[in-house]
Chains A and B, each alone.
Chain A
Amino acid sequence: MRPRSILLLGAGFTIWASAFVALYAMLSVGCRFGWHEVALEGAGGLSLQRLQLVAIFLVHLAAGVALVALLRRWKDRGFLYPLAYVAAIAALSASVFSFGAVFFLSTCA
């Protein structure tokens, strides 16, 4: 087992943290520039703000799912991999709970 495998323990929550930073930053930028008032015709009337936030969330969600799928292959190997696998599942669940509101809550009220 290579020393860097210890970093896998935090991989899932690193994706969660990246989603947090990106969503909070881009939400603030969008609110400042009024993107929540820009309706996109080609996207069923979705606001630019909603679209970019959902995109950021889905990209991170995909990364989280990919990580879980990757670690699932090694989940019976040694000590660190099973822990990293469970941590990645926890992080994925945390992402859905923390950021799922991007789909329906008002953004800049």
Chain B
Amino acid sequence: MSARPTRQTPLRLHRELAALWDTPAGWRRLSAVNHTVLGKRFILAAFFFFAVGGLLAMLIRVQLATSSTAFVGPEAYGQIFTMHGTVMMFLFAIPMFEGFAIYLLPKLLGARDLAFPRLTAYGFWCYIFGASILLLAMVAGVAPDSGWFMYTPLSSSTYSPGINADVWLLGITFVEISALSAAIEITVSVLKVRAPGMSLARMPIMAWYLLVTALMMLFGFPPLILGSILLELERAADLPFFDPLRGGDSLLWQHLFWLFGHPEVYIIFLPAAGAISMMIPTFARHELIGYRAIIVALIAMAFLSFGLWVHHMFTVGIPHLALAFFSAASGLVAIPTAVQIFAWIATLAAGRPRFDVPMLYLGGFFFIFVIGGLTGVMLAMVPFNWQAHDTHFVVAHLHYVLVGGFVFPMMAAAYYWLPHFTGRRAEHRLSKPAFWAIFLGFNLTFFHMHLTGLRGMPRRVDTYPVEARLDWLNLLSSVGSFVMIIGFALFVIDLVVQMRFGQRFRRNPWAARTLEWAMPTPPTSYAFASLPHITERGDRLAPDAEGARLAGGHGYLGFTRNGWMETLGVDMTSGRPDQLIVLPRQSFLPLWSGLLTAAFVLCLLAKLYWLSLFAFAAIVVSLLAWTGGTGARQDTGALPIGKGASARPHWETATPPSWWAMVLACAAEATLFSSLLFGGLFLWLVAPAWPPPQPAMPDPLLAAACLVLMLLAALLGRDAVRALTRGGPPALRLALCAGAHGGAALLFALMAASVPVPTTHAHNATALVLFALCGLRAGFGALLAGYGLWRERAGYLSPVRSLDLRIGRIWHDYAAATGIVGIGAAFVFAWLASSAGAAP
């Protein structure tokens, strides 16, 4: 292992870095873990699904063109509109943002890649395989047909007995693995993987946007994942969480769905707003005004957006005062949105704006999004909401928000960053007619839906009576949609023309002042030949001069050593370099893990539950295989990183990216667990058919033994770390820790098995899932302790290389804390379910 690198000539440095970082050719492309490659693949795949969703939209508009159209029947129409919404939300918008972030983020932060390249690849395969399941189901005529928000009881097995709803629940949960991976990846990368000197105060504004968005995903997706698991359990195992005859309630689904669903709107909007905050200063030739105000606005939006979900449920019978809470929060969220819009206007006003095609598309964004925002404020008001609920007015509003707030900025971003992807400038001959066709077509399509909605046309219907006198408005909408699709076709042709025939340029065609332009375009796989030292805010840089300097190897890490793919980790707030991050090389393992995850989902879909257990075990083994070759078998100490500085490799530091990833994974799991506790309390309070005939009171002896074992496992996990860092052997403690976790898992299984007939009542079903979840956590704790044992035996641990055990310790502590809460909740639920705690 060489610690002393030598400086190279720029060309030789390029060749050596490319040999390490480039994705191999041929079938080995499938082993790609590089952010540039995977970012492009995400974007291309998302764009393909945008086309699919658009095609489905055309079918909807054909059907609704007149009251007498007999294009498709109600059953096919149900599949079409469900898949349109599902594809656009889950397979286009979120993955498009993910691809955009994956491609751009390291380049903005002055890093060579994201924190977890193989997780990026795994997320990509989960997205592709999950999306393929949905598309194949559509081709086979068994696509989901209960609406993109899958309301129960329509989506329950009583009214949807086929596999259509299962395809949605399992396919979308599969895709959500991708979203959660991206959330952890982006959060950790923004916080830890930046160029030296890039403190939080110097981060480009886009990094703040992506950080906030990723955190929202981390807390927004788990409620839906839980909801999907519960609904699938109801459909597959008859556990009645949403069945009002057996103590369930269909409103629980709505709560869990919209707890995700409304933040989702902001999860989609914020990255696009980040792109706007990057583009406007470039074209205004003035730095962004209100940088700090925008950060505060982002924080406000992130929180407020989690307090609005009930405005989708204003008509279901919520207590009067609660309507006021949700209505107020729904109106309030317009303020931080307006802060951003005024900051952009102020930047334009203060600068010397120059007009170019991205600005044309941003003009479209301003017009459309502001209308969508205003109709949003209308819908936030309860009396109006009651009138417009479930009508085409809402359809118009959501399209104005999402197309205005995401699609238009993303088209502007495509024109802005495509030269970065391709190294070619646009001719822009088709971009203007494309814009006007999309802009006019969009308004023609959706503005009229405000009117049809106000005249009472409901959503999700395949026809309407001629007496309603809605034919002309609907026909205009349909004509508008075809004008819009012509615009999108022109947009695609324009992009292809630019990619093929655009004029080549050397660097930074827009004279931007952010770091992604301080590199050759199209970018090399390693992004920066050497890493910059940042001394200014991220949008006040000089990429042209900096790019040449970095390409010459004059920054940090301007060399290669040991065949390592290296980038730097920094202190979260100050940006001081505190670790050398050694990234994993290209690998087929993420593909294998993705394929095994697909096999697991398909087994569940085919109701081959025993086989699915083998697939699950295979997934765990494949994920453990990722760790082979990571870390080192000897202490390395601080290594030179260039510019006279040195840093320890990440496995010898206190808080490397993987440590933070475990913290965030626990936070996401805690959100899912809290959602389950909320569900248990909600059903007790609201659902009919309570109390249950036989409450699920846990055996106190089993529960006490379980508590002791969970606490013991946590203490042993901590003691193992202590022993290792003091130079002692942790093996026995780890073995005991694994044993304690295993024992706790067994006791949780026994408590789950003792729940009285879980199919009889939602309370019993909740208790079953509660114990199962706690048991799974304990099982995973045993696995982590066993893994630590194996790492110790294999020589990867030492007093300074204790990372594997410290990551395990986080989980052991978390499992104990949530195990205690879980057992406590089981007793509380049982007491509430008894006559003593029953609601009147």
Contacts and interface: CB of A to CB of B under 8 A. Distances in A.
A74 interface: no
A101 B300 contact: no
Interface string B655-685: 1000000000000000000000000010001
Contact of B840 (A17, A20, A33, A109): A33
Interface in B565-591: 571-574
Contact of A87 (B300, B328, B840): B300
B339 to A, nearest CB: 10
Nearest to A106: B320
Contact of A97 (B320, B322, B332): B332
B324 interface: yes
B292 A107 contact: no
Interface in B515-567: none
A9 B299 contact: yes
Contacts, number: 104
Given A1-B574, A87-B299, A27 B319 contact: yes
Contact of A79 (B200, B303, B322, B571): B200
B329 interface: yes
A105 B296 contact: no
Contacts of A91: 300, 303
Q: Looking at chain A, what size class is its interface with the partner chain?
A: 35 or more
Contacts of B307: 16-17, 20, 98
B679 to A, nearest CB: 13
Given A27-B319, A33-B839, A105 B685 contact: no
B320 A109 contact: yes
Contacts of A2: 573
Contacts of A33: 839-840
A27 B323 CA distance: 11
Interface string B280-324: 000000000000110110011011101100000000000111101
A63 to B, nearest CB: 15
B138 interface: no
A97 B201 CA distance: 30
A99 B325 contact: yes
B511 interface: no
B686 interface: yes
Contacts of A1: 573-574
A31 B319 contact: yes
B572 A6 contact: yes
A106 B299 contact: no
A101 B200 contact: no
Nearest to A34: B840
Nearest to A50: B321
B66 interface: no
Contacts of A87: 296, 299-300
Contact of B303 (A16, A27, A80): A16
Contacts of B295: 9, 83
Given A2-B573, A3-B573, A5-B573, A101 B299 contact: no
B306 A105 contact: no
> Is chain A's binding surface mostly helix, strand, loop or mixed?
helix
B90 to A, nearest CB: 26
Contacts of B67: none
A2 to B, nearest CB: 7
Nearest to A101: B324
A10 B655 CA distance: 22
A105 B200 contact: no
Given A1-B573, A28-B685, A20 B332 contact: no
A9 B203 CA distance: 16
A28 B686 CA distance: 9
Nearest to A94: B332
> Is chain B's binding surface mostly helix, strand, loop or mixed?
helix
Contacts of A109: 319-320
B321 A105 contact: yes
A20 B634 CA distance: 52
B573 A80 contact: yes
A100 to B, nearest CB: 8
Contact of B300 (A5, A53, A90): A90
Given A83-B296, A94-B332, A101 B685 contact: no
A108 B320 CA distance: 5
Interface in A1-48: 1-3, 5-6, 9-10, 13-14, 16-17, 20, 23-25, 27-29, 31-34
A52 to B, nearest CB: 12
B296 A32 contact: no
B200 A80 contact: yes
A70 B16 CA distance: 53
Nearest to A20: B307
Contacts of B320: 105-109
A32 B300 contact: no
A83 to B, nearest CB: 6
Contacts of A83: 292, 295-296, 299
B199 interface: yes
Interface string A49-86: 00001000000000000000000000000111011001
Nearest to A17: B303
B247 to A, nearest CB: 15
Contacts of A31: 319
Contacts of A28: 319, 322, 685-686
A108 B321 contact: yes
Contacts of B300: 13, 87, 90-91, 94
Contacts of B293: 86
Interface string B392-416: 0000000000000000000000000
A109 B382 CA distance: 14
A31 B320 CA distance: 10
Given A2-B573, A17-B306, A94-B304, A24 B322 contact: yes
A16 B325 CA distance: 12
B684 to A, nearest CB: 9
Contacts of A32: 685-686, 839-840
Interface of B: 191, 199-201, 292-293, 295-296, 299-300, 302-304, 306-307, 319-322, 324-325, 328-329, 332, 571-574, 655, 681, 685-686, 839-840
Given A5-B573, A107-B320, 16 more contacts: A2-B573, A6-B572, A9-B295, A20-B325, A28-B319, A32-B840, A33-B839, A79-B199, A79-B200, A83-B295, A86-B293, A87-B296, A94-B329, A94-B332, A97-B332, A105-B320
23 contacts: A1-B573, A6-B191, A10-B302, A13-B303, A20-B307, A24-B322, A28-B322, A33-B840, A53-B321, A79-B199, A79-B200, A80-B573, A83-B292, A83-B296, A87-B299, A91-B300, A94-B329, A98-B328, A99-B328, A101-B321, A101-B325, A105-B320, A109-B320
Pick the 4 closest A-B CB pairs, nearest first: A13-B303, A79-B201, A109-B320, A101-B324
